[in-house]
Amino acid sequence: MITTNSHTDLVRPGDPRYDEARSSFNLLVDQRPAAVAFPADANEVAIAVAQAHREELRVAPQATGHNQAPLGDMSDTLLLNVSRLQEVRVDPAARSVRVGAGVKWDRVAPRLSAHGLAGLHGSSPDVGIAGYSLGGGMGWLARKHGLQTNAVTAFELVTADGEQLRVDAEHESELFWALRGGGGNFGVVTAIEFGVVEVDELYAGALFFPIERVAEVLHTWNDARGSFPEEFMSWASLLHFPPIPDVPAFARGRSYAVVMAAHLGTAAEGAALLEPLRALGAERDTFASVPPVVLGDLAMDPLDPVPFESTTAMLDTAPAAAIDALLAAAGPASGRGPTVSLLQLRQMGGALAREAPGAGARATLPGDLCMFALGAVIEPSMGEPVNAALADIDAAVAPYRGREYLNFVERPAQARGFFDEATWARLRAVKAAYDPDDRFRGNHHIPASEGAALRRAA
């Protein structure tokens, strides 16, 4: 943790603390902001925003640095690191949680699990709740319970004017709508409140197959998933594990085709659904009835910073030809070995395709499959082959591609492509009402609409 003396103690280039202060989860991201602030509470956030105005700097909020790559040049920007905002309040009886904007899922998921509850977190407990929620938030329970962003009941944030607002369905309702999916474009969130779900029974785990069987495994999964109920969320992946101590001993340095799943139901139901995949004869089978906290470890995401490039696509359809094209780009037959460390396909549908009453800007996440791929770039010479492989993956999915999903896009992109026309226009109108001068830089930019700004109303 960086040592600062007070809220006015901005860390600037030349300061011995600067490199640590500007660090990111993705070690390839070399962000060089004009200054970095580490406020300890909402008042200090407001003071930091005011200081940025005085210095004519823009403001980019950050919690964990898991997705800062899209921001690019930050020489005119104050990086506002909210990691010190660490309040956590869990109310199991009300099934609600309130956290400061710096809190990661790993501080909340175990406490909820002890009460038979779960938040709608994603694959990694190391991700920040606020950033994840602002972009959408699609995790293991999403086919049954939808996106985390629509479980949010209130935000507290500091606006461009330095105002501290409480934003919910009754107060600043347009802003409340925009924050649920529009990302960090509207202010600095200082606290977030959300509902969580009861998990009576959970059957979860992974089937590991030798990588040579990846075509058989992915096709079997793709054929079987049409009959999976909403309670069953499954991800099929090609995974090359690095030979490092953080990786479980059995997988270290090895490559697998893996099907991971979480079933909200009994072991017998889950086993019946897995039958076509189990019939292939996995090398390792970890499925068991488990408490919800296990979901944080299921995907085996790295917890320590790593250097990587990534790509993603939402596929509107995923016929067998799409699987074949992906395997030709990144599977064993591509001759690329472990260049693509992870190629992951998540089944979509269910609650993700239905608009929940009172939903925010990310009301649904349409698509049949969500694809995410990454290649570790441990040394610079790996950058070129990794990017070539990711480009081939992009080409493979091009015929099936739908809209992008903000949270998974880790490169500069046109945010317009994430939303339908009406949602985009409404987001821009909210931006014009709350941040007409474009002070705040979300990692994916939403520009203010031109012309008459939306009237700010409760």
Ligand X SMILES: Cc1cc2nc3c(=O)[nH]c(=O)nc-3n(C[C@H](O)[C@H](O)[C@H](O)COP(=O)(O)OP(=O)(O)OC[C@H]3O[C@@H](n4cnc5c(N)ncnc54)[C@H](O)[C@@H]3O)c2cc1C
Residue ranges binding ligand X (CB under 6 A): 25, 61-68, 82, 101, 122-124, 127-128, 130-132, 134-139, 183-184, 188-189, 301, 407, 442-443
DSSP classification of residue 54: H
**In whole angstroms, what is the distance from residue 316 CA to residue 319 CA?**
10
**In whole angstroms, what is the distance from residue 440 CA to residue 184 CA?**
7
CB of 222 to ligand X, least distance (A): 20
3-state helix, strand, coil in the chain (%, to 5): 35, 25, 45
Q: Is the Cβ of residue 275 or residue 437 nearer to ligand X in the bound state?
A: 437
CB of 183 to ligand X, least distance (A): 5
Q: Is the Cβ of residue 330 or residue 342 nearer to ligand X in the bound state?
A: 342
CB of 82 to ligand X, least distance (A): 4
CB of 452 to ligand X, least distance (A): 26
Q: Is the Cβ of residue 220 or residue 292 nearer to ligand X in the bound state?
A: 292
**In whole angstroms, what is the distance from residue 163 CA to residue 187 CA?**
10
405 within 8 A of 136, measured Cβ to Cβ? yes
Beta carbons within 10 angstroms of residue 413's beta carbon: 16
Q: Is the Cβ of residue 60 or residue 207 nearer to ligand X in the bound state?
A: 60
Q: Is the Cβ of residue 132 or residue 256 nearer to ligand X in the bound state?
A: 132
22 within 8 A of 32, measured Cβ to Cβ? yes
39 within 8 A of 83, measured Cβ to Cβ? no
Q: Is the Cβ of residue 272 or residue 411 nearer to ligand X in the bound state?
A: 411
CB of 16 to ligand X, least distance (A): 23
Task: Give the residue from 111, 131, 113 showing the smallest Cα distance to 70.
Answer: 131
Q: Is the Cβ of residue 132 or residue 220 nearer to ligand X in the bound state?
A: 132
72 within 8 A of 453, measured Cβ to Cβ? no
Q: Is the Cβ of residue 66 or residue 263 nearer to ligand X in the bound state?
A: 66
**In whole angstroms, what is the distance from residue 315 CA to residue 301 CA?**
23
Q: Is the Cβ of residue 183 or residue 265 nearer to ligand X in the bound state?
A: 183
CB of 382 to ligand X, least distance (A): 19
DSSP classification of residue 418: G
CB of 451 to ligand X, least distance (A): 25
CB of 410 to ligand X, least distance (A): 7
Partners of 88 in beta bridges? 99
Burial of 106 (0-12, 13-18, 19+ CB in 10 A): middle
Residue where the block lists tokens 């409480």: 166
33 within 8 A of 53, measured Cβ to Cβ? no
120 within 8 A of 148, measured Cβ to Cβ? yes
Alpha carbon distance, N-terminus to C-terminus of the chain: 38
CB of 362 to ligand X, least distance (A): 10
Pair of tokens at residue 230 = 């909403």
Q: Is the Cβ of residue 104 or residue 426 nearer to ligand X in the bound state?
A: 104
CB of 63 to ligand X, least distance (A): 3
SS3 call for 246: coil
Q: Is the Cβ of residue 196 or residue 325 nearer to ligand X in the bound state?
A: 196
Q: Is 281 left (phi over 0), alpha (psi -120 to 50) or beta?
A: left
Residue type, 6: S
Beta carbons within 10 angstroms of residue 4's beta carbon: 18
CB of 39 to ligand X, least distance (A): 10
Pair of tokens at residue 26 = 């993705």
**In whole angstroms, what is the distance from residue 50 CA to residue 48 CA?**
5
